[in-house]
């Protein structure tokens, strides 16, 4: 059996998240069907992460085992020929037999995209969060640095069970602004359910003066979800990069 490492991108608008489920169409089931058709065998793809309904991915990794002798370029071309227009295979390469897209992953980077304007942009519908209020980049960046480091993120997780390990390490949290576009980039070794969207929502509440930045440490200490900010909409969130080498994560 060969083991393939595959990178894809997808627009999550039409899907009920990545992982296969019974109550709606998902990225996994669509990709598995198309990959299986090209390889002429039933397959299960192993994704690097779950993404929620409406969340996008610029670089999403999955691994798949196959007995097919198809060349990597043939795989890319063949599967892209079967996929719908909102999913694309970007690359395929041979991987070691023990490579697993999820368990071999060292960390991830998420992007949250805001369109800051009084008027909505019809070209970013479902691809960026429309935000009408003035955006104070310096204030938000300074507040975002409270998230950097190894912290207990229980207050920034949805539906975390009491016995869940909620300690994660965030390596960086950057805020970039260009015209009416704002990018928030957060890189870490792992993320809890809705963690990025809650961090972004909390920063938007800081931006609006609803949560003073100097209370963020108290929110961490209390560990209560109700003290943190809103959950930002899913459609502004992208899985931006996946890291399989420590030096990439730490750079």
Rounded CA gap, 85 and 70, in Å? 23
72-82 vs 27-39: helix crossing angle, rounded to 10: 120
Tell me how many degrees the CA angle 95-96-100 measures, rounded to the nearest 5.
80
DSSP structure string for 150-201: EEE-GGG-SS--TTS--EEEEEEEEEEEETTEEEEEEEES---TTHHHHHHH
Catalytic residue among 52, 86, 126, 205: 52
Q: Which CATH architecture has domain 2-94?
A: 2-Layer Sandwich (3.30)
Q: What sign does the dihedral 76-78-83-84 (CA atoms) show?
A: positive
Query: Is residue 246 over pLDDT 90?
Result: no
Q: Residue length, the chain?
A: 251
Domain positions in the chain are: 2-94, 107-250
Q: Which CATH architecture has domain 107-250?
A: 2-Layer Sandwich (3.30)
What is the percent of the chain with per-residue pLDDT over 70, rounded to a whole number?
100
Average pLDDT, the chain: 95
Q: What is the per-residue pLDDT across 53-98, written as a single tens digit (0 to 9) for each?
A: 999 999 999 999 999 999 999 999 999 999 999 999 999 999 999 9
The answer to whether 2-94 and 107-250 have equal CATH topology is yes
pLDDT band for 22, please (50, 70, 90 cuts): confident
Q: What is the per-residue pLDDT across 139-196, written as a single tens digit (0 to 9) for each?
A: 999 999 999 999 999 999 998 877 789 999 999 999 999 899 999 999 999 999 999 9
Q: Is 52 a catalytic residue?
A: yes
The pTM for the full model equals: 0.95
Runs of H (alpha helix) within the chain: 27-39, 72-82, 137-144, 195-207, 216-222, 246-250
């Amino acid at each position: 059996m060969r083991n393939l490492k595959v990178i894809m991108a997808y627009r999550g608008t039409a899907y009920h998240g990545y992982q296969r489920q019974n109550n709606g169409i998902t990225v996994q089931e669509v990709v598995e069907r198309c990959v299986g058709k090209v390889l002429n065998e039933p397959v299960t793809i192993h994704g690097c992460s779950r993404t929620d309904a409406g969340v996008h991915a610029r670089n999403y990794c999955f691994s798949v085992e196959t007995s097919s002798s198809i060349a990597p370029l043939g795989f890319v071309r063949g599967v892209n020929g079967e996929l719908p227009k909102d999913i694309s295979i970007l690359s395929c390469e041979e991987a070691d037999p023990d490579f697993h897209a999820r368990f071999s992953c060292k960390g991830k980077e998420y992007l949250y995209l805001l369109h800051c304007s009084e008027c909505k942009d019809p070209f970013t519908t479902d691809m960026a969060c429309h935000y009408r209020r003035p955006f104070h980049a310096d204030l938000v960046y300074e507040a975002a640095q409270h998230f950097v480091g190894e912290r207990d993120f229980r207050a920034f997780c949805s539906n975390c069970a009491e016995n869940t390990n909620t300690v994660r390490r965030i390596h960086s949290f950057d805020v970039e602004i260009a015209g009416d576009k704002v990018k928030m980039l957060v890189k870490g070794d792992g993320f809890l359910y809705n963690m990025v969207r809650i961090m972004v929502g909390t920063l938007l509440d800081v931006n609006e003066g609803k949560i003073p930045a100097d209370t963020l440490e108290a929110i961490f200490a209390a560990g209560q979800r109700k003290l943190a900010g809103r959950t930002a909409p899913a459609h502004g969130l992208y899985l931006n990069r996946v890291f399989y080498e420590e030096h990439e994560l730490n750079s």
